[in-house]
Structure 1
Amino acid sequence: MSYVNPDQVVESMVQAGAAKAKLTVKDMLIRGGLAGALLGFGTTLAFTVETQSQMGFVGALLFPACFVIVILLGLELVTGNFALLPLAVIEKKATWQQMISNWFWVIVGHLIGGAVYAVFYVIAVTHLGHVDNHAVAQKIINVAEAKTFAYSSLGSEGLLIVIVKAILCNWMVALGAVLAMTSKATIGKIVAMWLPILMFFAQGFEHAVVNMFVVPAGIMLGANVTVSDWLLWNQIPVLFGNLIGGFLFVGLALYLTHRKAGEKKALEQLEFTKQASNL
């Protein structure tokens, strides 16, 4: 059977976190960079379909394709790593320093990958500045401004809102990374991953890696947003919220219930085997 039970999934989460902790800086930058660019591809695909169909749900339905590619190719996505690496630290299969190093270098990779794709995409849709009425370009500008000004206009309440939306986002995104471990078949992995990613994107929650593309791209296209606006009112609080959502509501929650349950079952099986051998 291709289905993997939850106890085994949690063991896979721990092992995945331990493996990620041992990656070299080169690998983290390359894999993080590719993932950042691919999420940019998924975002522009979703926006293109949305502007053509005037139906946002259709775009959200297609966006998970980029996430599936990232996971199947074994690339690095910091939002998933927020759930996995702390478990390896808890199990003493990785250190705090390795965990922080992974998060840092993967984020740097995301920023590079998102920026590279943003530059290429802006060149493509504006024809090097000769086209200024592209529908998707205007959509990106609107989104970049909404992702900053909608929160800054509310002050401290805006920061709380963006953090909560980031928590809700990575509750689903990290769950998508974990659900990929529930099947040994490629099609099973794809279907399992697709559902939570669709849920986050369709509801407009805040994903740090997507924002590393869409806000810089909006700035390049002429959005009335500064780099400090982006960092203060979106990128930094979104990273913080994604960390909470991924670690607390996915990694730790599943670990606490299934890891302990798995250990209990193993002890019970060992005791049963000992008793049977004495008969």
Structure 2
Amino acid sequence: MSELYGSDAYAPLEVARRVETVGVAKARMATLPLLMLGVLAGAFIGLGSMLFVIVRSDPTLGFAAAQVGGGLVFSLGLLLVVVAGAELFTGNNLLAMAWADGRITTIEVLRNWTLVCAANFVGAAGLALLVFASGHTGMNEGAIGRTVVRIALAKQALPAWEAFLRGVLCNVLVCMAVWMAMAGRSVVDKAVAVVFPIGAFVAAGFEHSIANMYLMPLAMLVQPPDAAALVTWSGMAGNLVFVIAGNLLGGSVLVGLTYHVIYQRRRAPETPEQVETS
């Protein structure tokens, strides 16, 4: 079918079948590898966030250059997830496709999302601790540390509805990046598919829950205890509740279930062997 599109990429219908089949495998993965891959994904997104902060800490850059440049380097995080292999909560919102087609149960979906989200937090916060201990935040005469705190305080101060909507818009783009990466057959294909949607959501200032799990703990480690405004655990939790809810809606409903209705609804489930030979 992909020949009809004049390229060796998988066609959209083939992508829908692949996403669903992968979703079944993810939902039924054993707990230990699922948790380990989740920790890796959290660390990978943290690495992308670390590069983003480096760009944003340069005062010589204009607003557009800092936002777009930060978005481009942040895309390293999802590229590592997609190419190296890891389990990312926001990307796994696409499990909604396999669930809607009746191939996995609600319990299996919730198990995956809960375990992966928790493991992502461990990986992201663990990387934040390592980065802080390494002295990285003192670079550029302390500008990196100050930038982290400024970013985290802005996230903590977001009104609930704004954090939610930014989470929705973020994960529409993240899941579209994952979707398009599934169409690629090479690392170059996947990189091209990932960079532009991820760069766009970061440049636009949308909210990614796992990135926040790196930035906000790091800010709590860096900030002086006598600062006028402090990033707190309760402030982080208040942000994450609404951002995670927004990420879920954007990824599961606006991408996953939308494509399910377009390509998979009322179609008999296919075996993995049928998908590979289509």
Question: Which residue in the other structure is 1:96 paired with?
Answer: 106
* Unmatched 5+ stretches in structure 2: 1-6, 224-228, 271-278
CA contact (8 A) 1:63 1:201 kept: yes
1:92 Cα offset (Å):
2.2
> CA RMSD, aligned part only?
2.1
Amino acid aligned to 1:24: A
Matches within 5 A, 1:90-239: 90-125=100-135, 133-149=141-157, 151=158, 158-222=159-223, 224-232=230-238, 234-239=239-244
Structure 1 stretches of 4+ moved >6 Å: none
Amino acid aligned to 1:238: V
**How many residues were matched structurally?**
253
1:243 pairs with 239, 248, 267, which one? 248
The alignment partner of 1:206 has SS state of: coil
CA contact (8 A) 1:125 1:134 kept: no
The alignment partner of 1:93 has SS state of: coil
- Cα distance in 2 for partners of 1:125, 1:171 equals 35
1:133 Cα offset (Å):
4.9
- Cα distance in 1 for partners of 2:136, 2:191 equals 34
Could you report, residue by residue, the CA deviation over 1:148-202 in whole angstroms, capped at 9, with x for unpaired residues? 12x2xxxxxx111110010000000011111111121221111011111111011
1:136 Cα offset (Å):
0.8
CA contact (8 A) 1:44 1:136 kept: no
CA contact (8 A) 2:148 2:215 kept: yes
The alignment partner of 2:152 has SS state of: helix
Amino acid aligned to 1:164: L
Matches within 5 A, 1:246-257: 246-257=251-262
1:245 Cα offset (Å):
0.2
1:256 Cα offset (Å):
0.8
The alignment partner of 2:135 has SS state of: helix
1:230 Cα offset (Å):
1.0
CA contact (8 A) 2:149 2:231 kept: no
Matches within 5 A, 1:3-18: 3-18=9-24
CA contact (8 A) 1:33 1:110 kept: yes
Structure 2 length-normalised TM: 0.86
1:50 Cα offset (Å):
2.9
Structure 1 length-normalised TM: 0.85
Could you report, residue by residue, the CA deviation over 1:222-263 in whole angstroms, capped at 9, with x for unpaired residues? 27021111101x1111000000000111111111112249x5
The alignment partner of 2:29 has SS state of: coil
The structure with the largest alpha-carbon Rg is 1
Q: More deviation in 166-175 or 24-33?
A: 24-33
Matches within 5 A, 1:37-76: 37-52=43-58, 54=61, 55-56=65-66, 57-76=68-87
Query: Which has a greater percent of helix?
Result: 1
- Cα distance in 1 for partners of 2:109, 2:29 equals 11
The alignment partner of 1:3 has SS state of: coil
- Cα distance in 2 for partners of 1:45, 1:132 equals 13
Question: Which residue in the other structure is 2:226 paired with?
Answer: none
Could you report, residue by residue, the CA deviation over 1:16-41 in whole angstroms, capped at 9, with x for unpaired residues? 11010111121121111111111111
Identity, % of aligned pairs? Answer: 29
CA contact (8 A) 2:101 2:264 kept: no
The alignment partner of 1:139 has SS state of: helix
- Cα distance in 2 for partners of 1:171, 1:126 equals 32
Amino acid aligned to 1:135: A
CA contact (8 A) 1:42 1:64 kept: yes
